Amino acid sequence: MEANARRLVWPVVAALLVIGALFLTMFPTRTWLDQRNAISASTAELEELDAELAELDARVAALDSPEEIELLAREQYGMVRPGEEAYSLLPLPAPPIDIPPGWPFTAAPPADAP
């Protein structure tokens, strides 16, 4: 009976060692993969922010010139130099709507009626 017990103990010990090794290797591997994914996402976000920063630096450099400032003042704020006159164009009025002759449109007055 003791020999049978020893024969059963070694496979159980080996199975426990394999399960323990898998347990110790799987959880750190999952953590490592999660960290690698987080690093790649952070790297992509950093590249986007670097590109945005480059665009903003170019805009700051452009705003250092008096010509760019004058262009923005004229286009966005309607400013003019002394002695100049500013004109603004109004949009065209909407075209009249033709209402068909018949119910339920007979209750509405015609568009050209006073």
At 2-28, the pLDDT tens digits run 777 777 788 888 888 888 888 777 777
> What does the domain layout of the chain look like in residue ranges?
2-82
CA distance 99 to 33: 67
pLDDT at 70 over 90: yes
CA distance 88 to 73: 15
* pLDDT mean across residues, the chain: 85
Cβ-in-10-Å burial (0-12, 13-18, 19+) of 112 comes to: exposed
Q: Tens digits of per-residue pLDDT, 77-92? A: 989 999 999 888 899 9
CA distance 39 to 33: 10
Amino acid (one-letter) located at 60: V
CA distance 19 to 15: 6
pLDDT value for 106: 65
pLDDT value for 105: 60
Smallest CA-to-CA distance from 59 within 51, 75, 23, 47 is with 51
